[in-house]
Amino acid sequence: MKYRIAVIMDPIEHLAIDKDTTFAFMLEAQSRGHELFYLQQRHLSASGSQASAHAWRCEVKRAAQHYRFLDQGADYPLEHFHGILMRKDPPVDSNYLYATMILSLVDRAHTFVMNEPAGLREANEKLYALNFPDAIPPTLVTEDKKRLSAFMEEQGGDIVVKPLDGHGGNGVFVVSKGDRNVNAIFEAVTQFESRPIMAQKFIPEVRTSGDKRLIALNGEPLGAIFRVPRGDENRSNLHVGGTPVKSPLTQRDREICAMLKPRLVRDGLYFVGLDIIGDYLTEVNVTSPTGVQEIDRLDAVNLEAKVIDFVEARITALG
């Protein structure tokens, strides 16, 4: 059956078509005959309890000109769409949160939304991992420099600090006891003890095997890649020079997914990216997780097909 699928995303003209997971979803849905609608979060609105969007019918393809609008755009009630994919990249700022609140007005008896707006509001990509103490490394959330220093001492002298609203490796530092910059880093990341940050035990495996990105669908692991940092970097994010390397799914990966699945399903966080270093979960990415195209190439698979299968099944279940 042909469905109308709206995709809320960043400006379509800026997509990196050989890397972007949203683009892979759109291609797969289009190949099945579904009708694609493009919009940004600023195109959402509400009149009373009726949520609407100004959206453009579009087509995508792997070419220099990778998209084409099929009309001049029109206003639609959100229930016009059978499915909505919320794929806006971070930051999760006030405008993002307002957009999820508008999306929460959608009648779920008519429209499937991935990921669930309330789940997106609940799941800060750093703090959400605290719900799974058996999966994460020793972790502290505080704005207090003295507590950060004591934690660094407890963890053997090396920790990672990162802002709670960061993304893509921004503001992430590896801090070592004895470094004369420690106080300055703590002050910078906490904004002089005015905002809490996350500190975690440094896991040395990140420098050898890298940071694993595991893609999970409805709590089940689909595939993974290692993102190995450059020799002059502590961060392994692909956009700062990390290299994608083939990664098997391990027993520990499956254990971590099993720990998370009940909560992920309850919160409607159907498509997530787990960051795993060694045996530890470090982050749960829920806004617009990436890595699908890299896994596809390294493992000769088609993960987007499984995701669109899932979306179709959810829409069909609505009747």
* Domain identity same for 217 and 198: no
* Domain identity same for 52 and 103: yes
Q: How far is CA 282 from CA 137, 162, 163, 238, 278, in A?
A: 7, 11, 13, 17, 10
Residues whose CB falls within 8 Å of the CB of residue 255, separated by 6 or more in sequence, listed in order? 135
Classify burial at 65, counting beta carbons within 10 Å of its beta carbon; exposed 0-12, middle 13-18, buried 19 or more.
Answer: exposed
pLDDT at 262: 98
- Catalytic residue (choose from 4, 253, 285, 304): 285
Q: What is the DSSP string of 121-171?
A: HH--TTGGGGG-TTTSPSEEEES-HHHHHHHHHHTTSEEEEEETT--TTTT
In a domain, 280, yes or no: yes
Task: Measure the CA–CA gap between 298 and 225, rounded to whole angstroms.
Answer: 8
pLDDT at 255: 98
- Catalytic residue (choose from 162, 212, 237, 267): 162
Instruction: Kindly tell me if the per-residue pLDDT of 264 is higher than 70.
Output: yes
What tokens appear for 45 in the block?
């609105």
- Which pLDDT band, with edges at 50, 70 and 90, does 147 fall under? very high
Instruction: Kindly tell me if the per-residue pLDDT of 168 is higher than 90.
Output: no
- Which pLDDT band, with edges at 50, 70 and 90, does 279 fall under? very high
In a domain, 293, yes or no: no
Q: Whole domain around residue 102: which residue ranges? A: 4-117+306-318
pLDDT at 236: 54
Q: Are 8 and 40 in contact (CB under 8 A)?
A: yes
- Catalytic residue (choose from 4, 87, 88, 126): 126
Query: Is 108 marked active-site?
Result: no
Query: Is 207 marked active-site?
Result: no
Query: Is 79 marked active-site?
Result: no
- Catalytic residue (choose from 28, 212, 235, 267): 235
* Residue 194 burial (CB count, 10 A): 8
Mean pLDDT of 288-304: 97
Task: Measure the CA–CA gap between 319 and 189, rounded to whole angstroms.
Answer: 49
Assign residue 12 the CATH number of its domain.
Answer: 3.40.50.20
pLDDT at 17: 97
In a domain, 123, yes or no: no
In a domain, 271, yes or no: yes
pLDDT at 214: 98
* Domain identity same for 28 and 109: yes
pLDDT at 243: 86
Please give the order of strands across the beta sheet that includes 211-217: 243-246, 220-228, 211-217, 271-277, 280-285
Query: Is 314 marked active-site?
Result: no
Instruction: Kindly tell me if the per-residue pLDDT of 313 is higher than 60.
Output: yes
- Which pLDDT band, with edges at 50, 70 and 90, does 319 fall under? confident
Instruction: Kindly tell me if the per-residue pLDDT of 240 is higher than 80.
Output: no
**pLDDT, the chain, mean:** 95
Mean pLDDT of 84-108: 97
Query: Is 19 marked active-site?
Result: no
pLDDT digits (tens, 9 = 90+) for 32-77: 999 999 999 999 999 999 999 999 999 999 999 999 999 999 999 9
* Domain identity same for 38 and 100: yes
Which of 146, 167, 202 is the last residue before a domain boundary? 202
Q: Are 231 and 243 in contact (CB under 8 A)?
A: no
Instruction: Kindly tell me if the per-residue pLDDT of 239 is higher than 90.
Output: no
Query: Is 195 marked active-site?
Result: no
* Domain identity same for 98 and 25: yes
Q: Specify the higher pLDDT residue, 317 or 234.
A: 317
pLDDT digits (tens, 9 = 90+) for 1-18: 899 999 999 999 999 999
Query: Is 263 marked active-site?
Result: no
Mean pLDDT of 136-154: 97
pLDDT at 74: 98
What single letter denotes the amino acid at residue 133?
Answer: P
- Which pLDDT band, with edges at 50, 70 and 90, does 230 fall under? low
* Domain identity same for 14 and 101: yes
Q: Reduced to 3 states, what is the DSSP secondary structure of residue 319?
A: coil
- Catalytic residue (choose from 125, 211, 275, 312): 275
- Which pLDDT band, with edges at 50, 70 and 90, does 232 fall under? low
Instruction: Kindly tell me if the per-residue pLDDT of 241 is higher than 60.
Output: no
- Catalytic residue (choose from 87, 88, 201, 213): 213
Instruction: Kindly tell me if the per-residue pLDDT of 97 is higher than 80.
Output: yes
Task: Measure the CA–CA gap between 111 and 90, rounded to whole angstroms.
Answer: 24
- Catalytic residue (choose from 28, 122, 267, 283): 283
In a domain, 214, yes or no: yes
In a domain, 243, yes or no: yes
In a domain, 294, yes or no: no
Task: Measure the CA–CA gap between 290 and 237, rounded to whole angstroms.
Answer: 11
In a domain, 68, yes or no: yes
Total domains present in the chain: 3
Instruction: Kindly tell me if the per-residue pLDDT of 101 is higher than 90.
Output: yes
Assign residue 229 the CATH number of its domain.
Answer: 3.30.470.20
pLDDT at 250: 96
- Which pLDDT band, with edges at 50, 70 and 90, does 267 fall under? very high
* Domain identity same for 15 and 81: yes
* Domain identity same for 110 and 155: no
Instruction: Kindly tell me if the per-residue pLDDT of 244 is higher than 70.
Output: yes
Assign residue 151 the CATH number of its domain.
Answer: 3.30.1490.20
- Catalytic residue (choose from 227, 267, 304, 312): 227
Residues whose CB falls within 8 Å of the CB of residue 148, separated by 6 or more in sequence, listed in order? 140, 142, 159, 161, 186, 190, 197, 199
Query: Is 121 marked active-site?
Result: no
